[in-house]
């Protein structure tokens, strides 16, 4: 995230009425939080984040629906969207970003630390889903109303950490783009 974009994120969230942000990470494993925390004055808008790496933690802390998530190994637009809504509720934030995905290729024949094998059987290139939840009505969206956006990010040829960084950057860029449209000048 370039300095100009960091400043823009901060400015748009702090414009009256002030808005707050939280994150729920799986695949990016803290990279989103680190980028947001690097912004001077982040404590004025960033409430915090959670890295929920396993399905059990996604269910326990973010309200992800176990049956649907298990069927896709917790990697889908739907899971990312549930994570984002859950982060809004957990932290009481106006906005939340979430990420889930595969940071590197995976071959079913080699086994792996998954709740179940990927539906595809073989992941040949890293990919992720990001989601943005914007709570409507009550400040934390506890009434259940959200505007939600999500998208898929592919990273063929990227190594594990490079993919995590790439996804964090892209998710933050999507947030800035949403805020530009929402708080158009």
Q: What is the pLDDT of residues 25-48, one digit of tens each?
A: 999 999 999 999 999 999 999 999
Q: What is the pLDDT of residues 53-64, one digit of tens each?
A: 999 999 999 999
Model-level pTM?
0.91
Q: Measured between alpha carbons, how far is 37 from 173 in angstroms, rounded to an integer?
A: 15
At 112 the pLDDT is: 54
- Which of 94-105 are b and which e, b meaning 16 or more Cβ less than 10 Å from the residue's Cβ? bbbbbbbbbbee
């Amino acid at each position: 995230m370039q300095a100009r974009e960091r400043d823009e994120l901060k400015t748009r969230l702090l414009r009256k009425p002030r808005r707050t942000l939280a994150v729920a990470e799986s695949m990016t494993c803290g990279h989103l939080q680190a980028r947001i925390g690097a912004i001077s004055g982040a404590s004025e808008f960033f409430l915090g984040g959670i890295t929920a790496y396993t399905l059990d933690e996604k269910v326990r802390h973010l309200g992800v629906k176990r049956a649907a998530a298990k069927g896709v190994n917790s990697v889908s637009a739907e899971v990312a969207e549930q994570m984002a809504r859950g982060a809004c509720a957990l932290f009481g934030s106006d906005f939340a970003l979430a990420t889930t995905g595969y940071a590197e290729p995976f071959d079913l024949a080699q086994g792996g630390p998954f709740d179940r094998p990927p539906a595809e059987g073989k992941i040949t290139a890293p990919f992720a889903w990001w989601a943005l939840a914007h709570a409507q009505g009550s400040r934390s969206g506890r009434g259940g109303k959200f505007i939600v956006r999500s998208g898929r990010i592919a990273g063929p040829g990227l190594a594990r950490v490079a993919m995590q960084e790439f996804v964090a950057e892209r998710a933050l860029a999507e947030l800035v783009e949403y805020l530009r449209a929402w708080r158009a000048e």
